[in-house]
Amino acid sequence: MSLFRPHPKKEPERFYLLPGQGGSSYRRKRNYLLAWSVVVALVVSGLLAIALYLMNRIRP
């Protein structure tokens, strides 16, 4: 008996979608989340840019 023998081939994991987890409603939800994440990223980067600008302006 060898300790380094290969494992038997396992069946790939399967997943099943419940109603409402796929199709147009899923795409709509994904696009909604993407749009809001872009908006939040722009706002946060803008605030960070303003904060860095003001910190740089205070020092001579």
Range of the domain at 37: 24-60
Give pLDDT, residue 14: 74
Sequence letter at residue 51: A
Residue that wins the pLDDT comparison between 53 and 4: 53
Residue 60 lies in a domain: yes
Residue 59 lies in a domain: yes
**How many domains does the chain divide into?**
1
Residue 29 lies in a domain: yes
Per-residue pLDDT of 7-58, as tens digits, reads 667 777 777 777 767 778 788 889 999 999 999 999 999 999 999 999 999 8
Residue 14 lies in a domain: no
Give pLDDT, residue 12: 73
Give pLDDT, residue 31: 94
Q: Report the distance separating Cα 35 and Cα 29, nearest Å.
A: 10
Rounded to 10 degrees, the C-alpha dihedral 37/42/44/48 comes to 160
Q: Spell out the alpha helix ranges (H) of 1-60.
A: 24-58
In the predicted structure, residue 1 carries a pLDDT above the cut 60 = no
Give pLDDT, residue 49: 97
